[in-house]
């Protein structure tokens, strides 16, 4: 049984939409538009920023959330999606899975794989160490980027904080293990990069194993 963790007021834009979160919105939108989907299912509507933008770009979007007060298109849970198989060519499920106990995440991933016809865009928190660089030199030109320093889990065990049951980089929750969970659900991750402007969010782009 999945229950709500925060009130709908939690997503008030002036409080919720930090510069880092706005960057993540931008990265999420950029990834989705690069895929050029006809119909997107967005799981976890938040304050509606992403779905509004995608619709303004001409993308058909259906939203799903556990909180009816957020006014999603469909009320429901990621662990029991009320849709037929292969009915959305792209699913976006960003900053959602960490709100589930990790033992049921594989089931949620299997549901995503069942409903998606093509790609799934995911993001989850990642607290592993990293370094960033940025330079603008007349000889070398411009460059910026980010590299994680750890592929395995490290540090302390994550303690449920009222919202997150787990985060990548904490003991027992490595990037390697999460990619294995994707593969077990029939998903092949061909990109798993952290957002340069918000390294706390790691994005995955996956395709179904056909």
Count the domains in the chain.
1
- Residue 105: give the domain boundaries: 8-208
Q: pLDDT 10s per residue in the chain (210 long)?
A: 677 888 888 888 888 889 999 999 999 999 999 999 999 999 999 999 999 999 999 999 999 999 999 999 999 999 999 999 999 999 999 999 999 999 999 999 999 999 999 999 999 999 988 888 776 777 767 776 788 776 555 667 889 999 999 999 998 899 999 999 999 999 999 999 999 899 999 999 999 875
Contact 163, 5 (CB under 8 A): yes
Distance CA 84, CA 37 (A): 18
Per-residue pLDDT, 157: 85
| Within-domain flag for 143 | yes
| Within-domain flag for 158 | yes
Per-residue pLDDT, 150: 64
Per-residue pLDDT, 154: 61
| Within-domain flag for 64 | yes
DSSP 140-183: TEEEEEEEES-SS--SSPP---SS-S--BTSTT--HHHHHHHHH
| Within-domain flag for 148 | yes
Per-residue pLDDT, 146: 80
Per-residue pLDDT, 122: 98
Contact 93, 185 (CB under 8 A): no
| Within-domain flag for 2 | no
CATH of residue 119:
3.40.50.150
């Amino acid at each position: 049984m999945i229950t709500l963790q925060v009130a709908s007021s939690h997503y008030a834009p002036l409080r919720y939409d930090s510069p880092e979160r706005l960057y993540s919105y931008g990265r999420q939108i950029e990834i989705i538009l690069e895929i050029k989907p006809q119909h997107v299912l967005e799981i976890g509507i938040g304050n509606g920023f992403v779905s509004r933008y995608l619709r303004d770009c001409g993308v058909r979007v259906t939203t799903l959330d556990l909180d009816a007060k957020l006014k999603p298109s469909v009320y429901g849970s990621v662990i029991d999606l009320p849709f037929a198989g292969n009915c959305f060519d792209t699913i976006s499920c960003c900053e959602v899975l960490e709100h589930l106990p990790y033992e049921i995440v594989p089931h949620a991933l299997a549901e995503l794989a069942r409903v998606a016809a093509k790609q799934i865009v995911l993001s989850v928190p990642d607290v592993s160490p990293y370094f960033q660089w940025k330079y603008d030199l007349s000889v070398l030109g411009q460059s910026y980027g980010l590299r994680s320093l750890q592929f395995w889990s490290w540090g302390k065990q994550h303690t449920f904080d009222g919202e997150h049951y787990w985060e990548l980089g904490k003991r027992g929750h490595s990037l390697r293990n999460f990619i294995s969970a994707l593969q077990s659900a029939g998903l092949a991750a061909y990109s798993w990069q952290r957002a340069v402007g918000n390294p706390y969010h790691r994005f995955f782009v996956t395709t179904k194993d056909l």
